[in-house]
Amino acid sequence: MKSLFVIPLSILLVLFSYSPQQNDEKILEAFLEQFDEFYGLYGEGTTEFVDFYAGDVITIDTKGKITIGQDEYRKSWAGVLERYDIELLEFTAPEIVFSKDKIVSYNDYNEYFISKETGDSIRGRGTWIALWQKEGD
């Protein structure tokens, strides 16, 4: 079966302003709020989730097609959404690695793409890897 999933290998996501006064718990709370918002938008089946990516996002789909840039990624997803409805079944809590101004996260997801024309479905399971970078002050 053909898979329509874009598995980002290197993405920059704008998250929040970091200041040395914030403790790890506040950073984690802000991150998880953004993480949940991202998946909420993704699961709605719109391209709004693309706004979380930096303009120079690079994605590679399962066929090896490379998409560079936020506008191209949005166009690619718009094409998918013209043909399919998305049913996001679940996404796991992220594993997180902190640094001073970045967070690396990875998690699993489980979803279906349902053809608007035939009603046939394609199941997708994968891992989402992301580098979240602080937003400028």
Task: Report the alpha-carbon distance of residue 112 to residue 23 in Å, rounded.
Answer: 38
Task: Categorize the per-residue pLDDT at 135 as very low, low, confident or very high, splitting at 50, 70 and 90.
Answer: low
> Are 90 and 110 in contact, with CB atoms under 8 Å apart?
yes
> With bands split at pLDDT 50, 70 and 90, how would you rate the model's confidence at 134?
low
Give the chain's domain count.
Answer: 1
Q: How far apart are CA 88 and CA 15, in angstroms?
A: 22
Q: What is the CATH number of the domain that holds 62?
A: 3.10.450.50
3-state DSSP call for residue 100? coil
Q: Is residue 37 part of a domain?
A: yes
- Average confidence score pLDDT of the chain: 81
Whether residue 126 is contained in a domain is answered as yes
Task: Evaluate whether residue 50 is within a structural domain.
Answer: yes
pLDDT band at 23 (very low <50, low <70, confident <90, very high): low
- Domain span at residue 81 reads 6-133
Q: Is 63 exposed, middle or buried (0-12, 13-18, 19+ CB in 10 A)?
A: exposed
On whether residue 62 sits in a domain, the answer given is: yes
Residue 43 has pLDDT above 70, yes or no: yes
To the question of pTM greater than 0.85 for the whole model, the response is no
Give the C-alpha separation, 4 to 45, whole Å: 14
Q: Is residue 1 part of a domain?
A: no
- Residue 99: other Cβ atoms inside 10 A: 11
Can you give the pLDDT at residue 18?
40
- Residue 31 phi/psi, 5-degree rounding, is -60, -50
Q: What is the pLDDT of residues 65-83, one digit of tens each?
A: 899 999 999 999 999 999 9
pLDDT of residue 99: 80
Q: Give pLDDT tens digits for 99-129.
A: 877 889 999 999 999 999 999 999 999 888 8
